[in-house]
Amino acid sequence: MIVDCDPGHDDALALLLAVGDPRLRLLGVSTVAGNQTLDKTTRNALRILALAGATGIPVAAGSDRPLIGELTVAADIHGSSGLDGPDLDGPVAEPADGPGVELMRRLLMASAEPVELIALGPLTNVALLLRDHPEVAPRIRRIVFMGGSTERGNTTPYGEFNIVTDPEAADVVLRSGLPVTMIGLNVTHQALATPAIIDRFRAMDTRLGTVCAELMTFFAGAYLRTFGLADPPVHDPIAVAAVIDPSVVHTVHVPVAVELTGTHTRGATVVDLHRRTGRPPNADVAVGLEVDAFWNLLMTAVRRLGEATR
């Protein structure tokens, strides 16, 4: 698999799951501007991989802005660094040479088997990859992205942050003809970092477990201030969990479109659950989550990494 991300507290947990589960082989990481600016999301990806003892995985900086318009970051949720909360100072590797899209292209073309492409931020890099390098399409087994919703949004009334940040990129991905799985807010809001979950991280008694607890504590405070939610939803790791164990996430195969022009709905994902539009299905859309199984996957991965990096 390749992960494209914008760390981000929940991206950090997703990277730990991708590195810590032995059923996955993480080939590389590309970063995109989203939760914070590109320089910060790239450094955060390197910091998390260093913390996990996975410094050999290449990380390359991708796009620093959406395809159209200006970037708006989520500092109200993720803080000025993008990973506020724990002390993550320490040596990190240098980013790989070249842009993130080129790293993805190179890894895809070199792989002996098709690759799962997991996108956890705005879909800018993925759209540029598909647009500028159509030769990679046969090398992509599936695109799994965290974004959108079958219901309400979190940035606008109907728009989720990753899609609202770059609706045109999401439109490219959903019209690509490739297998696509959408993990939206309707499912990610079932995975809440409750005090009991935070205690499970802390009880691991490892540096990594403590960092995860501190990340989620900061995240909880941001969600309480911004949305009035005491327990924050942990969005991005669910996309990785869906690749590890498809039984954890329940999906339906339906038509999905992105609203590009609506005055109040730009960036909304229009999920045709009842097939009213007559369009052919183009995505597997998450509609249910095995919550306990998800948390057990994540906890097992973080515990394994924490014990290996004591």
pLDDT of residue 89: 84
Is 189 tagged catalytic? no
Residue 245 above 90 pLDDT? yes
272 close to 256: Cβ distance less than 8 angstroms? yes
* Spatial separation of the C-alpha atoms in residues 264 and 245, rounded to whole Å: 37
- State residue 90's pLDDT score: 84
Cβ atoms within 10 A of the Cβ of 205, count?
Answer: 10
pLDDT of residue 266: 97
Average pLDDT over residues 98-113: 97
pLDDT band, very low/low/confident/very high, at 58 (cuts 50, 70, 90): very high
- Work out the percent of the chain whose per-residue pLDDT is above 90: 98
pLDDT in tens, 287-301: 999 999 999 999 999
The share of the chain scoring above pLDDT 70, in percent, equals: 100
Angstrom CA distances, 270 to 36, 160, 250, stand at 26, 12, 19
d(CA 171, CA 257) in angstroms, rounded, equals 7
Confidence category of residue 144, pLDDT binned at 50, 70, 90: very high
Structure-token match 């297998």, residue found: 179
- The yes-or-no verdict on residue 34 having pLDDT over 90 is yes
Residue 310: what pLDDT? 83
Measured distance CA(215)–CA(309) in Å, rounded: 18
How distant, in Å, are the alpha carbons of 176, 201, 215 from that of 282? 9, 37, 35
Mean pLDDT of the chain: 97
**Which residue of the set 235, 250, 264, 274 is catalytic?**
235
pLDDT tens digits, one per residue of 219-234: 999 999 999 999 999 9
- Check pLDDT > 90 for residue 91: no
User: Do 290 and 187 touch, CB atoms closer than 8 A?
Assistant: no
Q: How sure is the predictor about 29, in pLDDT bands with cuts at 50, 70 and 90? A: very high
CB of 294 within 8 A of CB of 242?
no
Domain annotation for the chain: domains and CATH numbers? 2-308 (3.90.245.10)
Q: Which residues contact 110 (CB under 8 A, 6 or more apart)?
A: none
